Amino acid sequence: MKQKEKSVTGWLADFTGTHKNLYIASVLLAVCGVACSIVPYVIMGDVVSRLIAGERQWGIYLREGLLMAVLWLARVIFHALSTTCSHKATFHVLGNIRRQVCDKLARVPLGRVKDTPSGSLKNIIVERIDSIETTLAHILPEFTSNLLAPVAVFVYLCVIDWRMALVSLVSLPLGLLAYMGMMIGYEESFKNTVIKTRILNDTAVEYINGIEVIKAFGKAQSSYEKFKIAAKEGADCYIEWMRRCNVFFSIAMVLFPCTAVSVLPIGGLFVKNGTLAVADFVLCLILSLGLTAPLITVMSYSDDIGRLRTILGEVTEILCWEELSRPEEDKKKPADYSVTLKDVTFAYKEKEVLHGIDMQIRPGTVNALVGPSGSGKSTIAKLIASLWDVKSGSICIGGVDIRELSLEEYNRRVAYVSQDNYLFDDTIRENIRMGRMDATDAEVEEAAKKSGCHEFIMQLENGYDTVAGGAGGHLSGGERQRIAIARAMLKDAPIVILDEATAYTDPENEAVIQSSVAKLVQGKTLIVIAHRLSTIADADCIFVVDDGRIAERGTHRELLENGKLYAKMWKAHIGVKNSEREGVSYA
Ligand SMILES: Nc1ncnc2c1ncn2[C@@H]1O[C@H](COP(=O)(O)OP(=O)(O)OP(=O)(O)O)[C@@H](O)[C@H]1O
């Protein structure tokens, strides 16, 4: 939270880290470049004076001309070196920002990430961070040179004739006035365009992600319409802003470079009354012409700086998200792999969905969570998997509160197989290896065999080297779940949480999955969210969740004897099951 008070420059200094020196070198080189661009004016002044004085030794002019050429060349070289340094530093900064954001996403509660549209996060991490590259890389060297150059020219003008220096500035305040008119309502307009662009991005991502549903329900036209409206609103917002700026901008751009309007007549007057030499007058005229152009460039950076501030604001907002409070290292060692929930409550935002959950899970036992849809089973599983933090109460592993265990160590102890088995756009082999990164190919294949994947993998075009596709799109739901089980098997964690998939209920797939789960959990603490009660009839303990509370607990037999919710659910289940063949049990 303390981080939130940090200024944009403070954040930038943080992101720059050890590469600050490159930025310093970039500024110093830019200053050298400015010096090289000013000295030719001094030489030019000398040339003009000599010409007017009637100097006829062409060798002098040649030498001075050559020196000017060398200085111009040096200026270009300094500029190139300066921007090379700033680009190098900037790429490091961008890498650092992206790394910090990605690390952060792994440390915040899952809900925080899920509640943010994936389009927005992707947009910030990829495009928006990328878009500040030019500004960050150019702003330091170019801001320095464009600001220093006119200051140096003005000082030189003062040295020649202070009156002419002041006369050359006459058009500046008028131009500034027009420019300020352009800045009225700038912040609001800029924010508006950022919001509209974000909406357009989110709509585009939603359109692509939901393409299957859109096609299936014939909603292509209405979904495209939504995208079209977002694009039009974005464009309108820009056009309206630019239309308002146009007049002021045009006036400012006309007024700024108008130095000659004041320098010519007033300088001529000074020459006429003999208070200004002709050579100095010519030099002042040349110098004043180059005075305002760099200042216009400096002012154009206000736009880039605004964008930089907005984007850094978005990035730092993510970096300030509250994290799961976990130590770097375990504070205590769990005595065993029992799981205990004490008076746990949990709310999604304001809506409390778990109200005082108490559960005792002995190590090495099979435990099931059953209950009506929406009763809170998955939420309990996710809290045990440490994806969210409880609102009150505690969850202990082997007698130690999970908030006293490091996330890394915790992840080694718990394998969570969710319904939503995401497969990365990588080979099947690497997807399974994610369970344990140092597993050999033989170990990967062994896990695949145990989880009933080997056969269908071998039938794929490139076997284990087949790319699974984004979100595992080329595999069926059942196949994806089996790969997720293989992954968990390879991880070999002592506590396994399994959210039983409801979607893949064909008897053959169900039997394969259940026998592979039975292999996965031998001797481990299993917590399974069961949708098909026959699979957990032999469980050591069944917890019946109803409306965010544990309504009943006990073995299958005990719960049937109770004759309450579980008995009713079993009756309903058997009604469906009677027509099917008997299921295989996990235990
Ligand atoms: N990310 C979320 N944000 C807000 N509310 C949520 C979120 N996830 C779940 N809920 C709500 O919390 C309650 C419990 O949901 P949960 O998914 O834990 O139930 P469940 O028993 O696992 O349901 P199912 O058997 O249908 O998967 C539900 O009312 C659900 O609408």
pLDDT of residue 2 exceeding 50: no
319 vs 100: CA distance, rounded Å? 7
| Cα angle for residues 578, 583, 584 (degrees, 5° grid) | 160
Nearest CA, atom 3, ligand 1 = 348
Select from 110, 348, 416 the residue to mutate for testing ligand 1; criterion: most ligand atoms less than 8 Å from CB: 348
d(CA 357, CA 499): 19
Task: Tell me the mean pLDDT in the region 206-226.
Answer: 76
Asked if the model's pLDDT at residue 579 lies above 70, the reply is no
ipTM confidence: 0.97
Handedness of CA 559, 560, 564, 569 (dihedral sign): positive
Q: What is the mean pLDDT of residues 304-323?
A: 84
Question: Residue 472 above 60 pLDDT?
Answer: no
Q: Are 110 and 387 in contact (CB under 8 A)?
A: yes
CATH architecture of 339-577: 3-Layer(aba) Sandwich (3.40)
Question: Is residue 3 scored above 50 in pLDDT?
Answer: no
Q: Distance (Å, rounded) from C-alpha 338 to C-alpha 245?
A: 67
Report the residue among 375, 383, 390, 549 best suited for mutation to probe ligand 1: largest number of ligand atoms under 8 A from its CB. 375
Cβ 377 under 6 angstroms from ligand 1? yes
User: Residue 543: its pLDDT value, please?
Assistant: 95
- What is the Å distance from ligand 1's center to 543 Cα? 17
Q: Where are the domains of the chain?
A: 2-187+245-319, 339-577
What's the pLDDT band for 190 if we cut at 50, 70, 90? confident
- Report whether CATH 1.20.1560.10 matches the domain 2-187+245-319: yes
Cβ contact 359:390 at 8 Å: no
